[in-house]
Amino acid sequence: MTALLTDRTAEVSEGRVRAALGTVVDPELDEPITDVGFVRSVTVHGLPGRPTVEVHLRLPTSFCAPNFAWLMVSDAHDAVSAVPGVESVVVELDDHHDSDLINRGMAAGLGYRGTFGHEAEESLDELRATFQRKAHTAAMERAITALLRTDPTVDVAALTLGDLPAGERTTDALLRRRATLGLPVDAGAPVLVRDDGTRPDPAQAEMVLRRARSVRISVDGNAHFCRGLLTTRYPGSEADQTPRPEDRPLLPLTVSKGTAR
């Protein structure tokens, strides 16, 4: 029995915990908190068969929005709790102006509104949905632009998911974000869509694509900026960041008569 319990504890490794944390995404940056270096430490300890996991998170500044901070801490707690064999989880946010409040609320299981009281928004669901839509828009633009680099004559207005190269990083990322929003992921579904999932008229394709590009540039710019702030605040934290693919020059795009070039 002792050997069995010891084996169960051994299953809960730091690597498995970090893999679970890799599913937690900064809502504004659309990147896993493990990639941007927000995971400060992971510790697995406790009695055999009853492992406790302690995770400490850090953010680029002490004044990052409390609602964003809460989302990441709460999502990290849920992700680690779902790791098989974990007995208990402690997730704490370090060096934030609301660290004490957030950490007390998490420890007591008060939830966002119970922690922040009258200062809390009505719900974080709409905030999460807003950033999920932005993440989809950015992924849509990346997938279209990647295709245009190989074939500048692609008819963007008529493009379907089946036209995208299967297995490509940009295609897979777009499919994941569409699934999150409940948008169709079948081969015949249009790639270029508005926020509500409807395909724009061919005459509006250029405007929709340009708007998507501005959203993607904003998301990527924020990610670069926050990575830099983190390494300034915590020297050496760049070693905890996963390098992003080098940004390639933007294509000058025009969409005319249903064709992008």
Tell me if residue 69 falls in helix, strand or coil. helix
Q: Where are the domains of the chain?
A: 2-119, 125-244+252-260
The pLDDT tens digits for 76-127 are: 999 999 999 999 999 999 999 999 999 999 999 999 999 998 777 767 888 9
Apex CA 243: angle with CA 239 and CA 249, to 5°? 150
Average pLDDT over residues 169-189: 96
The pLDDT tens digits for 66-75 are: 999 999 999 9
Contact 185, 172 (CB under 8 A): no
Q: For residue 98, what are the CA distances in angstroms to 5, 61, 66, 120?
A: 38, 12, 7, 13
What does the alpha-carbon distance between residue 82 and residue 96 come to, in Å, rounded to a whole number?
A: 26
pLDDT of residue 47: 76
Q: Which two tokens stand for residue 214?
A: 């501005």
Q: Does residue 3 surpass a pLDDT of 90?
A: no
Residue 246, number of CB atoms within 10 A of its CB: 5
Confidence of residue 256 (pLDDT cuts 50, 70, 90): very low
- Strand ranges across the sheet with 39-47: 39-47, 50-57, 88-93
- The single-letter code of the amino acid at 106 is M
What does the alpha-carbon distance between residue 50 and residue 8 come to, in Å, rounded to a whole number?
A: 8
Apex CA 107: angle with CA 114 and CA 69, to 5°? 65
Q: 2-119: what fold?
A: GMP Synthetase; Chain A, domain 3 (3.30.300)
**Could you give the percent of the chain with pLDDT greater than 70?**
89
